[in-house]
Amino acid sequence: MMYSVKDLDCALTPWDELLATAEELLGVLDEERDALLGRDPAMLERAVARKLALLGSVESILKSHAAAPHVSASDAPLRARADALLEEAVRRNELNARIAAQREAGVRKALDVLTGRHGEPPLYGPVGRSAGGRRGQAIGVA
pLDDT truncated to tens, each residue of the chain (142 aa)? 455 555 544 556 788 899 999 999 999 999 999 999 999 999 999 999 999 999 999 999 999 877 666 667 777 888 899 999 999 999 999 999 999 999 999 888 888 888 888 766 656 666 666 655 555 555 555 4
Q: Which alpha helices (DSSP H) does 1-142 contain, by range? A: 14-38, 41-67, 76-115, 137-141
Domain-embedded: residue 138: no
Cα–Cα dist 125/131, whole Å: 5
Residue 131 covered by a domain: no
Instruction: List Cα–Cα distances, 142 to 80, 114, 137, in angstroms.
Output: 50, 8, 9
d(Cα 55, Cα 46) in Å, to the nearest integer? 14
Helix axes 76-115, 14-38, angle to 10 degrees: 20
Domains: count for the chain = 1
What length does the chain have? 142
pTM for the full predicted model: 0.70
Instruction: Look at residue 126 and tell me if it is in a domain.
Output: no
Q: Does 57 fall in a domain?
A: yes
Question: Does 136 reside within a domain?
Answer: no
140 occurs within a structural domain: no
Q: For residue 26, tell me if it sits in a domain.
A: yes
Whether residue 111 is contained in a domain is answered as: yes
Q: Which long-range contacts (CB under 8 A, 24 or more apart) does 77-84 make?
A: 78/15, 78/16, 78/19, 79/15, 81/19, 82/15, 82/18, 82/19, 82/22
Domain that holds residue 43: 14-69+85-117
